[in-house]
């Protein structure tokens, strides 16, 4: 099995099955309903089993539908030369005490997909009460978790309410805002990105609410985009933009990141027969438009997800500019 010392981030899509039916699901219908086999998992891990630091992201579909595979990843990674750090992204609805104990034992970082307060989340994803139950399980075991929220016109003006909900969890540590990607159901509608004006209002309300909440917390609820702005401009937005990430489909096919999963234009071979070089066109995709030269964030803009740029359009690309500018102007 070929190893690639350049790969610093491995995304394991353990299953494309899901117990929810998100209105903007990015997976094409043809890519749903598959679980990863142990042979494919072993081959995927072998690709990165070298001495360099590496991060493994466990995702789906909904990965908690295959808890035995999560346990297998944890056990096998503990024996790897690179001893990768593990993280999981889940909708939280199927968490059990056994799974939470596994997260704690193996120090698996936890991300929860939550798109707003219960009424809003119910319209966009479903099962908000089960998601909250999962968050309470994490809270009971004092496991820190972060929230990822997909931003669309239906939830943008409710982000302050989401922050207030998270204030009730001592172990909620952050929120990341993902603008809607033009793939799967999201490309078909009926959900749409917010207008620039509404996006700016929603983000400003969120930041101000977090500021008030964090005055009374030991561990602040951080906003990922604000942290990115404070870090300043980097060479590339993410591992995919640097050409140092791989996403593994349950059938063993390889792609540069989860955003490009199943797209034949980004196919990189399979776990059994990977391409010799993992270079992709994502490394050439940057956040650029005519307003950049006059933007006050020109020297500190963190950029944007190259997959989101690739699948977007000019209007959607400009929204990330509004997002950063709204935060920096407060």
d(CA 193, CA 105): 39
CB 310 within 8 A of CB 181: no
**Tens-digit pLDDT profile for the chain (330 aa)?**
455 557 899 999 999 999 999 999 888 766 678 999 999 999 999 998 777 789 999 999 999 999 999 999 999 999 998 889 999 999 999 999 999 999 999 999 999 999 999 999 999 999 999 999 999 999 999 999 999 999 999 999 999 999 999 999 999 999 999 999 888 888 887 889 999 999 999 999 999 999 999 999 999 999 999 999 988 766 678 888 888 899 999 999 999 999 999 999 899 999 999 987 665 568 777 777 667 778 888 888 888 888 888 887 656 668 999 999 999 887
DSSP 35: B
Query: Position of tokens 């604000």?
Result: 226
pTM: 0.93
In 3D, which of 251, 254, 260, 258 has the Cα closest to residue 281? 260
Distance CA 98, CA 67 (A): 9
In what helix (H) or strand (E) does residue 159 lie, and over which residues does it extend?
Answer: helix 159-166
Give the DSSP letter string of 223-288.
Answer: EHHHHHHHH---S-SSHHHHT-EEEE-TTSBEESSGGGTT-GGG--BBSSSB-S----GGGG----
């Amino acid at each position: 099995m070929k190893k690639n010392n350049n790969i610093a981030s491995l995304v394991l899509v353990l299953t494309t099955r899901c117990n929810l039916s998100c209105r903007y699901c990015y997976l094409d219908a043809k890519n749903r309903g598959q679980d990863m086999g142990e042979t494919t998992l072993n081959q995927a891990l072998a690709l990165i089993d070298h001495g360099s630091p590496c991060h493994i992201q466990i995702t789906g579909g909904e990965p908690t539908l295959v808890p035995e595979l999560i346990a297998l990843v944890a056990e096998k990674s503990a024996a790897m030369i690179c001893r990768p750090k593990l993280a999981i992204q889940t909708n939280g609805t199927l968490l059990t005490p056994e799974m939470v104990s596994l997260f704690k034992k193996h120090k698996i970082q936890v991300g929860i997909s939550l798109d707003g307060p219960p009424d809003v989340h119910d319209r966009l994803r479903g099962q908000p009460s089960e998601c909250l139950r999962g968050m309470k399980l994490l809270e009971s075991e004092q496991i820190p978790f972060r929230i990822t929220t997909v931003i669309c016109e239906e939830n943008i003006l409710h982000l302050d309410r989401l922050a207030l909900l998270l204030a009730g969890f001592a172990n909620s540590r952050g929120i990341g805002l993902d603008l809607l990607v033009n793939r799967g159901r999201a490309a078909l509608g009926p959900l749409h990105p917010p207008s620039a004006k509404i996006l700016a209002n929603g983000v400003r309300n969120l930041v101000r609410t977090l500021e008030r909440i964090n005055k009374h917390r030991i561990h602040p609820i951080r906003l990922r985009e604000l942290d990115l702005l404070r870090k300043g401009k980097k060479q590339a937005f993410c591992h995919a933009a640097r050409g140092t990430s791989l996403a593994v489909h349950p059938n063993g096919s390889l792609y540069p990141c989860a955003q490009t999963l199943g797209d034949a234009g980004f196919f990189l071979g399979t776990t059994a027969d990977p391409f010799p070089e993992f270079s992709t066109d994502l490394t050439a995709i940057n956040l650029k438009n005519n307003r950049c030269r006059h933007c006050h964030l020109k020297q500190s803009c963190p950029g944007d997800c190259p997959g989101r740029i690739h699948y977007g359009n000019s209007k959607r690309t400009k929204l990330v500019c509004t997002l950063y500018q709204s935060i920096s102007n407060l």
